[in-house]
């Protein structure tokens, strides 16, 4: 399963601020996207000047069952390392940004694989029942 730190778009910040400032540790399971608020902490050593980073993750988890979401086909998204999920239930948007276009494409491909596996299985079961 794919996992990594993604930046989540916050619609409530002013237009002068970075809307993608909030970092989340994200991972995919067979049917869901899981997210926990994350903070990257940078440690600097006084001896030798070495620098290391550590991701500190919140306890509270958000889970998005992917059968309730679709991938937005906004072509602007992928050009900027971004991708967006849209809720089938209420149209809520969940916009995420990866470190690179390539990483974003990897997330999109993995989400599409989950959609195919999940929807393909559900479709096959309904066909088998008829």
Task: Compute the CA torsion angle 43, 97, 95, 75 (nearest 10 deg).
Answer: 180
CA–CA separation, 25 and 103 (whole Å): 14
Which region among 2-6, 31-35, 61-65, 69-73 has the lowest average model confidence (pLDDT)?
A: 69-73
Predicted model pTM:
0.75
Of residues 93 and 44, which shows the higher confidence score?
93
**Residue-wise pLDDT tens digits, 17-36:** 778 888 999 999 999 999 99
Which pLDDT score, from 0 to 100, does residue 94 have?
92
Choice between 129 and 1, residue whose per-residue pLDDT is larger: 1
The answer to whether the beta carbons of residues 98 and 6 sit under 8 Å apart is yes
pLDDT of 128 higher than 60: no
pLDDT number for residue 68: 93
């Amino acid at each position: 399963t794919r996992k990594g730190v993604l930046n989540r778009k916050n619609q409530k910040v002013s237009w002068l601020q970075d809307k993608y400032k909030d970092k989340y540790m994200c991972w995919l399971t067979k049917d869901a996207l899981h997210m926990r608020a994350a903070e990257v902490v940078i440690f600097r050593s006084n001896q030798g000047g070495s620098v290391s980073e550590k991701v500190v993750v919140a306890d509270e988890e958000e889970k998005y069952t992917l059968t309730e979401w679709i991938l937005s086909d906004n072509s602007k998204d992928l050009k900027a390392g971004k991708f967006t999920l849209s809720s089938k239930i209420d149209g809520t948007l969940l916009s995420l940004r990866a470190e690179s276009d390539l990483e974003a494409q990897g997330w999109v491909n993995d989400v599409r694989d989950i959609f195919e596996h999940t929807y393909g299985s559900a479709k096959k079961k309904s066909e088998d029942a008829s």
